[in-house]
Amino acid sequence: MTDQLSAADLPRTSEPTFRRIPVLLMLVTCQLMLVIDATVLNVALPHIQIDLGFTSTGLSWVVNAYILVFGCLLLLGGRAGDLFGRRRVFVAGVAVFTCASLAAGLVDSAAALVIARVVQAIGAAAAGPNALALITTTFTKEEDRHWSLAWFSAIASGGFPIGLIVGGLFTDWLSWRAAMFINVPIGLAIALLTPRLVPAPTRHAARLDLPGAITATGGVAALIFGLLRAAERGWSDGPTIAALGIGLVLVAAFLAIESRTGQPLMPLRVFADRDRAAAYVITFLMAMAMISTFFFLTQFLQNVLGWNALVTGFAFLPMALGLVVTSRLTARLLPRLGTKWLMVIGASLIAVGMVCLTQLSTDSGYLSGLLVPMLLLGMGIGFTFATANVAIMSTVEAQDAGAAGGVLQTMQEVGSSVGLAVLITVFGFATGHARVLPHGLLVDGMAVAFAGAAVFAACGIAAAFGIRHRQSADT
């Protein structure tokens, strides 16, 4: 396998706009679907437990199975697209995800649902990084690339709150199974349209970095599993310590392998650019901060305010709207302000939003305590993640676009897992690890966790100041 791309992989500057717009809509819709499925079942977990007979401890794996497998296979999925053809791997991933979604909606046992979620995640890990890479090679002009990546990032990031809204709608109006079935027509349409809209690269003889794939997949899986278990069992739990130790050893081995192999799974040169490396760090930190919003606020809305799944989902609508607004503003402001200041602004909005959430109490209402923080967090997510996507994907070499996209999404997944484990630990210390939490103690623990998330966001601000002041990522 050579690192040289075929003609179909090269920028298609002459492709008409009317051909590129459907490509963007299709790829953005796909990524939105993949991200939504990370949270769409959160608000439906009580209904799923009743329907399928999940135990209290096993119920979390309806969500965790998807997060774990998705996160640990992203690097492999991204590099596989670089080697075997991005369109081919993308379509295969969408097809697997679609079939698994149908199976998930039809299951009649707890074990079958977890297995279907695992297969969903395998397909998502193949489709996600290559959707991002296909945008990079389709939109070649700086302005077009900026707005397309901004839209892709903002809509994809908005999948988390949108997933809660969709999950609430289907759970209350139809069934949690409908949230799985809706993926089927969307996935089929994407799988059928992709060969018609996206040019196919010439097939090359490829050799995958198997040692790197094994150590990366095993290392990331062990780390995410350890962090998820730490969130449930604590940091002193034996299997937690063992999983984290194994994960660190495997990741170290992976980095050593990548520095020596000729066709690495993750080319270390993607970190050579200072701004790109900083954008990866900021992505990781912001994912750590934002996971607390969905986890703790869902509990606040349902347990403290007493809202049902439908209303809880719609409570996150201001956050989604903030993302839509900033998706349009980012492309316009990036040439004027540059990546540095847009990331500083975005991280600062997230930090301020988290500080506002530390003031929640049992007497807080939605309008008085949550609306403004929701808007701030949504706008902050949009500015930060959209700008990070541009900083990372606009300057990467075309042959490494899939790998760079895989690293980006891995940073988001692992950052979310790290943040969840750390903030749940902080929450546990703040509440004295009490088994029964009165509303006052529950809210006090959340306030401390939100303060921890604000610290993560502040670290992101500091990292953003390390970016060179350039008018855009491409100049």
Is the pLDDT assigned to residue 421 strictly greater than 70?
Answer: yes
pLDDT band per the 50, 70, 90 thresholds, residue 472: very low
The whole-angstrom separation of Cα 154 and Cα 327 is 5
Cα dihedral 215, 221, 226, 227 sign: positive
The whole-angstrom separation of Cα 255 and Cα 354 is 34
Q: What percent of the chain has pLDDT over 70?
A: 78
Residue ending a domain, among 264, 288, 310, is 264
Range 396-402 average pLDDT: 66
Range 217-235 average pLDDT: 77
Residue ending a domain, among 264, 280, 301, is 264
Candidates 382, 282, 250; CA nearest to 329 is: 382
Statement to judge: residues 232 and 304 lie in one domain: no
pLDDT band per the 50, 70, 90 thresholds, residue 17: very low
Candidates 186, 159, 146, 202; CA nearest to 42 is: 159
The whole-angstrom separation of Cα 345 and Cα 333 is 11
Q: What is the reported pLDDT for 293?
A: 78
The verdict on residue 55 lying in a domain is yes
The verdict on residue 70 lying in a domain is yes
Is the pLDDT assigned to residue 310 strictly greater than 60?
Answer: yes
The structure tokens listed for 43 are 């608000």
The verdict on residue 1 lying in a domain is no
Q: What is the reported pLDDT for 12?
A: 41
Statement to judge: residues 109 and 140 lie in one domain: yes
The whole-angstrom separation of Cα 81 and Cα 91 is 10
Counting the structural domains of the chain, the total is: 2
Range 305-325 average pLDDT: 79
Q: What is the reported pLDDT for 8?
A: 37
Statement to judge: residues 254 and 273 lie in one domain: no
Domain extent at residue 240 = 209-264
pLDDT band per the 50, 70, 90 thresholds, residue 351: very high
Residue ending a domain, among 220, 238, 264, is 264
pLDDT band per the 50, 70, 90 thresholds, residue 11: very low
Range 97-107 average pLDDT: 90
Q: Which of 76-85, 248-257, 368-377 has the lowest mean pLDDT?
A: 76-85
Statement to judge: residues 257 and 392 lie in one domain: no
Statement to judge: residues 280 and 337 lie in one domain: yes
pLDDT tens per residue, range 361-382: 888 888 888 899 989 998 888 8
Statement to judge: residues 233 and 317 lie in one domain: no
Range 125-146 average pLDDT: 74
Range 266-275 average pLDDT: 76
Compare 59 and 261 and report the one with higher pLDDT.
Answer: 261
Statement to judge: residues 72 and 19 lie in one domain: yes
Q: What is the reported pLDDT for 6?
A: 38
The verdict on residue 473 lying in a domain is no
The verdict on residue 8 lying in a domain is no
Compare 313 and 347 and report the one with higher pLDDT.
Answer: 347
Q: What is the reported pLDDT for 113?
A: 87
Statement to judge: residues 230 and 288 lie in one domain: no
Range 78-102 average pLDDT: 85
Is the pLDDT assigned to residue 474 strictly greater than 60?
Answer: no
Domain with 355 in it: what CATH number?
1.20.1250.20
Candidates 355, 57, 73; CA nearest to 218 is: 73
Statement to judge: residues 232 and 191 lie in one domain: no
Is the pLDDT assigned to residue 434 strictly greater than 90?
Answer: no
The structure tokens listed for 206 are 């490829």
The verdict on residue 6 lying in a domain is no
Residue whose token pair is 């992101």? 460
DSSP type of residue 304: I
Range 16-43 average pLDDT: 71
The verdict on residue 4 lying in a domain is no
Statement to judge: residues 249 and 285 lie in one domain: no
The verdict on residue 287 lying in a domain is yes
pLDDT band per the 50, 70, 90 thresholds, residue 102: very high
How far is residue 184 CA from its own chain's centroid? 21
Is the pLDDT assigned to residue 404 strictly greater than 60?
Answer: yes
Is the pLDDT assigned to residue 99 strictly greater than 90?
Answer: yes
Q: Which phi and psi angles does 232 have, rounded to 5°?
A: -95, -40
Range 71-94 average pLDDT: 80
Statement to judge: residues 216 and 284 lie in one domain: no
Statement to judge: residues 331 and 358 lie in one domain: yes
